[in-house]
Structure 1
Amino acid sequence: MVPPRLATVCLAFALLVLAATDALAHAVTEGDKGYIIEISGINLIPFVYLGAKHMVTGYDHLLFLFGVIFFLYRMKHIAIYVSLFAVGHSTTMLLGVFFDWNVSSYLIDAIIGLSVVYKALDNLGAFQRWFGFQPDTKIATLVFGFFHGLGLATKILEYDIAPDGLLPNLIAFNIGVELGQLIALAMILIFMGFWRRTEGFWRHAYTVNVAMMSAGFMLIGYQLTGYFVA
């Protein structure tokens, strides 16, 4: 039986994710938005900072990353999956902005919500129980990484970054994203390291993944509602 306190925490976490609509939609703060629109030329350090800030505050990225490493114990395996996510994320973010790919941010963010649902179901072993097969988790991580990067690209395109110095600034932004991912990963691993040593880890793992799946479904619903309403 799930302790009431843990269930309350998980519910509050899911509601927090739903309420944080700006972060879930890859939004940039108003101050950062104004800065991006106004500057021109090569500005490497500011874009590194903006990229790192985006990753550390991006709830959808962190949820997916949390799900990916949930049952990974060896650093070698963690490095493989995080690298696949980084390759996918970097590729579509750079290409999407540089070649001006026009894709609905609502639909992309709905797919990102689906990535969170997928990873939670994968952690729960649902695919083997329901369908009798196990999707290739490495391929899935790479593919969903593509969508995470494309989601960010759709938002960056809305701010009409000056073409002067665009490629160096995008590369700097991407470097910042990867630095932010390393910071977020370190914090998650520290948390997981302590949690896994407790007796309640296996008892509560199911509930936490259900909460993560619920947050993913709420993100999907929010984005699809925005798509049809807008």
Structure 2
Amino acid sequence: MSSRRPLALGLIALLLAAGMGDTALAHAIEGKDAAFVAETKGAAILPFMYLGAKHMVTGYDHLLFLIGVIFFLFRLRDIALYVTLFSVGHSITLLFGALTGIGINPWLVDAVIGLSVVYKAFENLGGFKTLFGFQPDTRVAVLVFGLIHGFGLASKLQALRLHPDGLVTNLLSFNIGVEIGQALALSLILLLMLLWRRSRSFTAHAAAANSLIMAAGMILIGYQLSGYFLGGQA
């Protein structure tokens, strides 16, 4: 067995655990963090940057989607392009949703985020070409799903009813923190992917990994829709 094969299998297991773990299914801003946000009046730049970074690093749904996005990207400029499209999308709707109060039911928006995970894994498996004979523009899909992910982030902040004093500064700080957390998480993911790609097991297990990503996305959809229909419609 290749010395890097355990790494590949470990990464696959991690992806599945990310979508199925009970703890991961509750990554909203809660507890002391929620109390701090609710009580904060005025600008609190560093704390909100920390909260944004923490939310992204623990945002299993966002990270699963990004893993799908970069899975078969081998050039840094391509990775930078797609990550930028995703960042632009979620930044727009995060700020728009939180500032205007216009949002989507958090259960439903998180279900669509789960759908984005399924979509990207399905694309990576060649599903569109095989079943429909065409390949959607991945750039457009990543931007559109970035917008949806941003509404998901905004819904977490809307639930906390941020104080209007310092609101814009705190939202911008939170968004910057999200980007920092995303960069940190992606750096680790890219390192693991790079090591895995250098082994023969990457080709052998790429389809299995994307199948597990898709399964995790389906579980997320089911969980969120169950929450919606069992009392989360408000």
Q: TM-score range by the shorter chain?
A: over 0.9
CA distance in 2, matches of 1:65, 1:16: 13
Seen in structure 2, the aligned counterparts of structure 1 residues 174 and 188 have a Cα distance that, compared at 3 Å, is: same
**Letter paired with 1:112:** I
- Aligned counterpart, 1:227: 228
CA distance in 2, matches of 1:195, 1:183: 19
Written as runs of structure 1 = structure 2, the 5 A alignment for 1:30-179 is 30-179=31-180
CA distance in 2, matches of 1:195, 1:9: 9
Q: Any unmatched runs of 5+ in structure 1? A: none
TM-superposed CA distance for 1:31, in Å, is 1.2
4+ runs deviating over 6 angstroms: 6-9
TM-superposed CA distance for 1:26, in Å, is 4.7
Seen in structure 2, the aligned counterparts of structure 1 residues 25 and 114 have a Cα distance that, compared at 3 Å, is: farther
**Letter paired with 1:92:** T
CA distance in 1, matches of 2:11, 2:84: 31
TM-superposed CA distance for 1:28, in Å, is 1.1
Between the aligned residues of both structures, percent identity stands at 53
Seen in structure 2, the aligned counterparts of structure 1 residues 97 and 26 have a Cα distance that, compared at 3 Å, is: farther
1:113-162 Cα distance to aligned partner (Å, 9 max, x none): 00000000111011000000101000000000001110011111011110
What TM-score does the superposition give when structure 2 sets the normalisation length? 0.91
Q: Any unmatched runs of 5+ in structure 2? A: none
The answer to whether the 8 Å contact 1:52/1:176 transfers is: yes
Q: How many residues were matched structurally?
A: 226
**Letter paired with 2:94:** M
- For residue 72 of structure 1, give the secondary structure of its aligned residue in structure 2: coil
Root-mean-square deviation (CA, aligned residues, Å) is 1.9
- Aligned counterpart, 1:185: 186
What TM-score does the superposition give when structure 1 sets the normalisation length? 0.93
CA distance in 1, matches of 2:148, 2:27: 12
1:175-207 Cα distance to aligned partner (Å, 9 max, x none): 000011111111111001100000110000000
- 2:24 maps to 1:14: no
CA distance in 2, matches of 1:156, 1:56: 16
TM-superposed CA distance for 1:106, in Å, is 0.6
CA distance in 2, matches of 1:9, 1:76: 24
**Letter paired with 2:230:** V
